[in-house]
């Protein structure tokens, strides 16, 4: 799969998942955007970047290092109780992983936007 086709599959797939959570507003996939789309639901606006991940089963720490530029863009959006900054990762087989970006760490969430607790009781660090 060439790099050009990855966004063509990733963004449409992400939008299908996003529509299950609320109203979706697309900003596009230009290099300069901070996020690809927003999800507006009751009391919350999620700012989402959707990306292709070569190694979807990597540890959250490894993913945080690999996608540090995407995370930095999302962190430039003001953190507030009514916002969620999210990084969505898709494998070549269509498997998804979702992360909420908070001030000092990544928190894995499910496709509904709810936090998935880690087995060790901790959170994912930068």
pLDDT confidence of residue 4: 46
> DSSP string of 28-73?
---TT-S-SEEEEETTEEEEEEEEE-TTTTS-HHHHHHHTHHHHHH
Q: β-strand 44-52 against 37-41: which pairing, if any?
A: antiparallel
pLDDT confidence of residue 103: 82
User: Domain containing 14 — which CATH number?
Assistant: 3.40.1350
pLDDT confidence of residue 6: 61
E strand or H helix at 23: strand 23-26
Distance (Å) of CA 17 to CA 22, 72, 88, 113: 10, 23, 10, 11
pLDDT confidence of residue 126: 41
DSSP secondary structure code for residue 111 in this structure: T
Domain count, the chain: 1
Identify the domain containing residue 53 by its residue range.
5-125
E strand or H helix at 97: strand 96-101
pLDDT confidence of residue 59: 87
* Mean pLDDT in order along the chain per 10 residues (126 residues): 60 95 88 93 95 92 94 95 96 94 90 84 46
Q: Strand, coil or helix: what is 90?
A: strand
């Amino acid at each position: 799969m060439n790099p050009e086709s990855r966004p063509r599959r990733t963004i449409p797939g992400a939008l299908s998942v996003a529509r299950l959570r609320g109203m979706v507003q697309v900003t596009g996939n230009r290099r300069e955007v901070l996020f690809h789309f927003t999800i507006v639901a009751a009391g919350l606006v999620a700012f989402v970047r959707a990306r292709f991940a070569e190694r979807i089963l990597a540890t959250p720490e490894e993913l945080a290092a690999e996608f540090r530029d995407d995370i930095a863009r999302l962190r430039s959006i003001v953190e507030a109780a009514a916002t969620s900054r999210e990084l969505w990762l898709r494998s070549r087989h269509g498997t998804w992983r979702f992360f909420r970006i908070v001030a000092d760490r990544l928190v894995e969430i499910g496709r509904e936007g709810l936090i998935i607790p880690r087995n060790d009781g901790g959170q994912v660090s930068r």
